[in-house]
Amino acid sequence: MSSRPDVRPIRRVLVANRGEIAVRVMRTCKERGIETVAVYSDVDRNMPHVLMADRAIGIGPAPARESYLVIEKILDACKQSGADAVHPGYGFLSENEDFADACEAAGIVFIGPRADSMRRMGSKTEARKTVSAAGTPVVPGDNGPEGNGFPDAAAALASARNIGFPVLIKAAAGGGGKGMRLVASEAEFTSAFDGARREALGAFGDDTVYLEKAIIRPRHIEIQVFGDRHGNLVHLGERDCSIQRRHQKVIEEAPSPAVSAELRARMGAAAVAAAGAVDYLGAGTCEFLLGADGEFYFLEMNTRLQVEHPVTELIYGVDLVSWQLDVAEGRPLPMTQTELDGRRRGHALECRIYAEDPVKFLPSPGTITHLRVPDGPYVRNDAGCYEGAEIPVHYDPMISKLVVWGEDRAAACARMRRALDEYQVRGIETNLPFHRLALRHAQFLAGEFDTGFIGREQASLTPGADGPALEAAMIAAALDAASRGRVGVSPASGGANGNGGAGNGKSESSGPSAWRSGARGWRIV
């Protein structure tokens, strides 16, 4: 590694997380010759991230509030292990500015943005003011008197009348759809306002809410940004995260079928401006709503690595965790914006595979008695469990992130269908049947969807569904396969067979993966 005085090589990274993201971070660390330290709760002592690490330290009982969310326990684990850096992953303490401050005070490198940047973007009202001043468009709305939220329903209602219904009441301190209400008329406003405040207080300890104009049938588009200590700030294009249920992403892809080159450039510039307004360091994501009229509006900034970062990695041929380590060590970004713009290639899709009921989307904890994951060229499965592992009730029930790359969107969809049909899980319920149906749905294949897609099309996305909608979806998949002259993409194979059905289709190809790894990440060959 470089011996430049402004570069501080990292020797040992403690990954303050669990599951697939902990495994993902450790893999890159090992490629770079960096030692890794795992932390684990009592129920996680035999999970893959613990077995992979060079050292593992227990941090307490299963509930996250008694283990993964306790700053003192994480810092003590750093002291015990001699870790000189912490990677927070996503979730848990990843966007906790107090944790970032505590790491700095302890002389430990926090692999993430500065605490001040997190603090300014962590409040949605403050973020709106900050990015608006930087020229990034925001959804028309009102942050309340003096920009600090609304103290009561009467004041908020008066503002809602000026904005025009429908409006969104949103919690200032949180995300994930908590503390959010869509209000269509004055008659339902007061009860919705009170409900949003109660939910926000319970979820975040803060009942501050603000108002936004509701954008009808928007797409959820996010832009990956990256900054270093040398004044460089770039974006790595967009991801379309519109396939959601209850405001939680289920399928993501890059690039978006709704974003042109011209729009990508404008959204990228807006995201870079927003990040620059808070002197952003490391990996971050600016989320936007894209209206049917082509106008886009800043939603929020996630000051961490996103769950869906692999789709960006695949189309740009980079390792974003390696970039995070570069920045944390004081190195400049590996590429300029011009270089990145010239590297974008193909299309990538990610399906989040959860241990959950595929009809009601409720968690389905238990033991995985059988597991077969797909492979083959351009197929990536980021996982944090194994056959025989217990999916606990205490955490997000993700089994893995299934990610594929294709030379275009149609190829990526065909490859994802094949991969989903190969995926087998027994012992627990999973959402695999949902994904198999979604990847055969006519509207999805046409790229014609928005954030309300799952809600509107639930009947044809439910295992065991029949009728015109499902038939149309199956026909569309068959026509797509026929027009491309591909094998192994029979629309009937595994589409609604329940968990563990491998389907009857043949794999598109075989042989070694067409990926090669290096010290700085992955590239397509």
Q: Domains of the chain (ranges plus CATH)?
A: 12-111 (3.40.50.20), 140-213 (3.30.1490.20), 360-372+410-516 (no CATH)
State how far the Cα of 211 lies from the Cα of 140, in Å rounded to an integer. Answer: 9
User: Radius of gyration over alpha carbons of the chain, in Å?
Assistant: 23
Residue 247 banded pLDDT, cuts 50, 70, 90: confident
- Of the chain, the percentage scoring pLDDT greater than 70 comes to 87
Rounded to an integer, the average pLDDT of 209-216 is: 92
pLDDT of residue 246: 83
State how far the Cα of 211 lies from the Cα of 157, in Å rounded to an integer. Answer: 10
Supply 104's token pair. 């700095």
pLDDT at 53 over 90: yes
State how far the Cα of 65 lies from the Cα of 232, in Å rounded to an integer. Answer: 37
Q: pLDDT digit string (tens) for 143-166? A: 999 888 999 999 999 999 999 999
Helical residues (DSSP H) of 249-363, grouped into ranges = 261-276, 309-316, 320-329, 337-343
Q: pLDDT digit string (tens) for 276-316? A: 999 999 999 999 999 998 999 999 999 999 999 999 999 99
Using alpha carbons only, what angle is made at residue 331 by residues 134 and 350, rounded to the nearest 5 degrees? 70
State how far the Cα of 91 lies from the Cα of 94, in Å rounded to an integer. Answer: 6
Supply 428's token pair. 């627990």
More confident residue, 152 or 492: 152
Q: Where are the beta strands (DSSP E) in 373-487?
A: 379-383, 390-391, 398-406, 424-426
pLDDT of residue 475: 53
Active-site option among 24, 114, 120, 304 = 304
User: ω before 491 within 30° of 0 (cis)?
Assistant: no
Q: pLDDT digit string (tens) for 70-98? A: 999 999 999 999 999 999 999 999 999 99
pLDDT of residue 54: 98
| Helix orientation angle between 468-484 and 409-422, rounded to the nearest 10 degrees | 110
User: ω before 433 within 30° of 0 (cis)?
Assistant: no
Is 304 marked active-site? yes
State how far the Cα of 491 lies from the Cα of 143, in Å rounded to an integer. Answer: 48
Using alpha carbons only, what angle is made at residue 438 by residues 434 and 439, rounded to the nearest 5 degrees? 120
State how far the Cα of 95 lies from the Cα of 112, in Å rounded to an integer. Answer: 9
